[in-house]
């Protein structure tokens, strides 16, 4: 199967890139519904993406760029853009889209059920926070993707 960015029927994937873990979401074949897929260790993301491109017919990848509240490119966004550049080099036949995702992960976290009850900071609570973060990255990617898909329909 040829990977072409001109194929409107191919699926779209969204990435919420993080230092340790990255969230992945995928669209349906009609490009109207985003589904959280998985949280992947960031070091393994290139190979995971390669698998998705081949096995799921992905032709477009939306990458959340965490701009500052003022809409500027800060330190974190620079890291994401560097990673995005590497993906573009690795997968030249795929269309990559930068998407402003200010506060997406925070919004997803705040929409989840109430506060976590835990123990001292740095103890079990610290580990729970880490696990909770891992679990929401794919939800943040799905939020990014759904917003992208919804906006495309109105254009």
Report the CATH number that the domain containing residue 102 is assigned in CATH. 3.30.420.140
Q: For residue 102, is it within any domain? A: yes
Average pLDDT, the chain: 82
Secondary structure class of 138 (helix, strand, coil): helix
Q: For residue 52, is it within any domain? A: yes
Residue 22 dihedral angles phi and psi, to the nearest 5°: -130, 140
Interatomic CA distance for residues 116 and 130, integer angstroms: 12
Tally of structural domains, the chain: 1
pTM over 0.75: yes
Task: Supply the range of the domain harboring residue 30.
Answer: 11-150
Q: For residue 31, is it within any domain? A: yes
Q: Which of 61-75, 78-92, 110-124 has the highest mean pLDDT?
A: 78-92
Please determine, for residue 90, whether its predicted confidence score (pLDDT) is greater than 80.
yes
Q: For residue 5, is it within any domain? A: no
Q: For residue 23, is it within any domain? A: yes
CA distances 132 to 6, 18, 89, Å, are 37, 14, 32
Q: How confident is the model at residue 61 (pLDDT cuts 50, 70, 90)?
A: very high
What local confidence, expressed as pLDDT, does residue 4 receive? 37
| Token pair of 126 as six digits | 């610290």
Interatomic CA distance for residues 148 and 141, integer angstroms: 11
Q: For residue 66, is it within any domain? A: yes
What local confidence, expressed as pLDDT, does residue 108 receive? 67
Q: For residue 6, is it within any domain? A: no
Please determine, for residue 111, whether its predicted confidence score (pLDDT) is greater than 70.
no
CA distances 76 to 6, 11, 39, 66, 81, Å, are 30, 27, 19, 7, 9
Do residues 23 and 136 make contact, with C-beta atoms less than 8 angstroms apart?
Answer: yes
Q: For residue 1, is it within any domain? A: no
Q: How confident is the model at residue 69 (pLDDT cuts 50, 70, 90)?
A: confident
């Amino acid at each position: 199967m040829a990977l072409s960015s001109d194929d409107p029927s191919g699926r779209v994937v969204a990435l919420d890139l993080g230092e340790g873990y990255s969230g992945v979401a995928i669209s349906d074949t009609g490009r109207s519904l985003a589904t959280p897929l998985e949280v992947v260790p960031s070091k393994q993301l290139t190979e995971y993406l390669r698998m998705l491109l081949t096995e799921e017919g992905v032709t477009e990848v939306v990458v959340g760029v965490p701009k500052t509240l003022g809409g500027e490119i800060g330190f974190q966004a620079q890291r994401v853009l560097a990673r995005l550049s590497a993906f573009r080099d690795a997968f030249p036949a795929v269309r990559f889209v930068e998407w402003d995702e200010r506060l997406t992960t925070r919004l997803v976290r705040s929409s989840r059920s109430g506060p976590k009850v835990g123990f001292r900071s740095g103890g079990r609570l610290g580990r729970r926070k880490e696990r909770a973060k891992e679990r929401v990255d794919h939800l943040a990617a799905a939020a990014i993707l759904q917003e992208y898909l919804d906006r495309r329909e109105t254009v």
